[in-house]
Amino acid sequence: MTVVHTEQLSKTYRSGIVRRSEVNALRNVSLEVGSGEIFGLLGPNGAGKTTFVKILLNVSFPTLGSATILNEPLGSINIRKRSGYLPENHRYPNFLTGLETLMMFGRIHGLDPRTLKDKAVSLLQTVGLKDWAHHKIKKYSKGMLQRLGLAQALLNDPEILFLDEPTDGVDPVGRKEIRDLLRDLRNQGKTIFLNSHILSEVELISDRVAILNKGEVIKVGTVDSITRKEDEYEFHLADDVSSDVLSQIKQVYGQVEQDGKLLRVIAQSSEQMNKVIDFLRSKNILIQSIVHRKSTLEESFIELIKAEQA
């Protein structure tokens, strides 16, 4: 089932009365997010990620295009009823305590005050703020505020969770905790829409990602499909190969690099890669492992963005 479906969503910010300026924050963004997936929207600063999520949640309005979320048309109150949202750079009222914040926003969400308290307490526990429940959030660190925001987004048991830079300002341990929590939520069947510019993290948890640059989607797919270099394999061998054998392989397969017991082969296809195996085996060389070398998402990302700019 499709949870988020946008069609040619575009947003142009217009500002200035005398000297008019226009920013095309989104250009014809069409995306589909399926139920139960963790979907990462990636892009450099100013790519339009925040704008995209704001439009889905009624904070901003599209200039053109349409969208449905949970099969409800854009702007429907039911979308907001059934989603959770952690805005970027959110500012929770610092005159409240953590628990009061959850109670207050839970009420504003229309939740039943009788069951709200238990829910709020257990969520504070989940995000690791139990001991801070009765402290004014004035005293919270950036990472704690982020956890509180996450708890707030989960109050209504949302079917879809929109998180805008959720690990911003969170320490590495906290980041891991948040990732684990998100996996848990996905396993409970929730859909998670994640905005981030921290690629190494998105890589770790996203099922699929889209790369946004200057308001345009330049790539959509699984993390694997975006990062895999189709043709690079690393052979870890038990012994060094003789230069004799090496030159034989080079003759047949062209691009081969040797680094001690490591053999890096650029193969045109997996058949070719298997032929390398056959060859090595025929020479009685013991293969300990073969790694299909992937570039990191970050490398692919930078390449893609560079290619766009060229």
Partner 1 sequence: MRSALGVIRYTTLEAIRKGTLIAYFIIGTLIILVFLLGIRLSPEDGTSMEFFGNKVATREIMGLDLVNFWLLQLYGSASGAIMLFGLFGTAGMIPSFVEKGTAELFLSKPLSRASLFISRFTGAVGGISLNIVFFTIGMWLVFGIKLGVWNWGFLASAFFTSYIFACFFSVAVLSGIITQSTAVAIIMGFAFSLFSGILETRELVLYKAWDNAIFHRTLDVLYYITPQLDAMKNSAGTLIGTLEIPAARRLANIPESFTILPFVYSTLSATALYSLSIWYFKRKDY
Where does this chain touch partner 1 (CB under 8 A) — which range of 55-63, 185-193, 198-206, 234-242? Answer: 55-63
Tokens of 137: 């959030």
Residues 45-64 that bind Mg ion (CB under 5 A): 49-50
Binding residues for ligand ADP, total number by CB under 6 A: 12
Residues 26-55 that bind ligand ADP (CB under 6 A): 43, 45-51
Residue 23 touches ligand ADP, criterion: CB under 6 A: yes
Shortest gap between Cβ of 172 and partner 1 (angstroms)?
25
């939520």: which residue's tokens?
185
Task: Tell me how far apart the alpha carbons of residues 233 and 15 are, in angstroms, rounded to a whole number.
Answer: 52
Contact string (CB under 8 A) for partner 1, positions 120-159, x = contact: --------------------------------x-------
Task: Tell me how far apart the alpha carbons of residues 235 and 291 are, in angstroms, rounded to a whole number.
Answer: 7
* The one among 109, 176, 293, 294 contacting partner 1 by CB under 8 A: 109
Task: Tell me how far apart the alpha carbons of residues 134 and 121 are, in angstroms, rounded to a whole number.
Answer: 11
Shortest gap between Cβ of 50 and ligand ADP (angstroms)?
3
Residues 210-239 that bind partner 1 (CB under 8 A): none
Amino acid at 170: V
Residues, the chain: 310
Task: Tell me how far apart the alpha carbons of residues 48 and 24 are, in angstroms, rounded to a whole number.
Answer: 9
Give the burial string for 1-26 (b: 16+ CB within 10 Å, else e).
eebbbbeebbbeeeeeeeeeeeeebb
β-sheet bridge partners, residue 236: 262, 289
* The one among 25, 33, 226, 265 contacting ligand ADP by CB under 6 A: 25
Q: 100 vs 207, which CB is nearer to partner 1?
A: 100
Residue 19 touches ligand ADP, criterion: CB under 6 A: no
Burial of 177 (0-12, 13-18, 19+ CB in 10 A): middle
In the complex, the residues that contact Mg ion under the rule CB under 5 A are 49-50, 88
The residues binding ligand ADP (CB under 6 A) are 13, 15, 23, 25, 43, 45-51
